[in-house]
Amino acid sequence: MAFLRSRRGLSLAALTVGLTVACVLLGLWQLDRYQQRQDRNTAVSASLDAPTVPLDDVVPPDGPVPSEAEWRTVTVEGRYDTGAEVVLRLRPVQGQAGLHVLTPLSRPDGSAVLVDRGFLPTSTAADLPPAASGTVEVTGRLRLSETGRGSGIDADAQPPSIRFVDLDALRDELGLDLAPVWLERVEQVPSESPVLAPIPAPTLSAGPSLIYAVQWFLFGVIAVVGFAVLARRDSRRSDVPSADPTP
């Protein structure tokens, strides 16, 4: 085709190839993200559906906690240490702003596990409900330590607050032998204050990655079709014989 041998045709062909390759790569990237999300959802669902076990059955005494242990429901007994209580901020629940009240649960062996006792709306955050006294049994979902910019305790806040549940930082700042995991309370005996709402289980969603992947592939097809239309139009124009000049 004469169009493909022209400078304009070569430029449009190169542009079309570049756009198509980019769209395909972006579509494959979104498919990979979709698959990763599906794999994570499968793992989380399996952990949530697993039977409740004692904390020590899931957390090894030495060595790292396996990632598949996260979201397992476990039980643990101890006494709340309200002197080391902190609040977790900027972590809304179902779109509602508020604070999570985190209190260490001291165990008979001298160790402690940090428990998210529940969610408190910001409007009532000035008055934290007291933790239950005496020995309590907590049933909760196991969570792994978090890291992020601004980890550590903001001691100037009242009450002291954290942005991430960075257990290594909290272990040093609170001076406690914290377990390498923390818990989101599901149930408690004796019962927790009704002011504190238990944290809901995570919502498992595939997200929009699959839709984005289809869109990128469609953009690639549109680029090829558009080039074909332009090439066909230019070829028809070049095939029309020019009129002879009038003598």
Nearest to 81 by CA among 109, 115, 120, 124: 115
Six token digits for residue 102: 């985190």
Neighbouring C-beta atoms of residue 4, cutoff 10 Å: 13
Cβ distance 181 to 143 under 8 Å? yes
pLDDT confidence tier of residue 164, bands split at 50, 70 and 90: very high
Neighbouring C-beta atoms of residue 131, cutoff 10 Å: 21
CA 99 to chain centre: 19
| pLDDT confidence of residue 68 | 86
CATH architecture of the domain 72-189 equals Beta Barrel (2.40)
Tell me if the pTM is above 0.85: no
Six token digits for residue 51: 């039977």
| Residue 239 reports pLDDT greater than 60 | no
Helices 7-49, 209-239: axis angle to 10 degrees equals 170
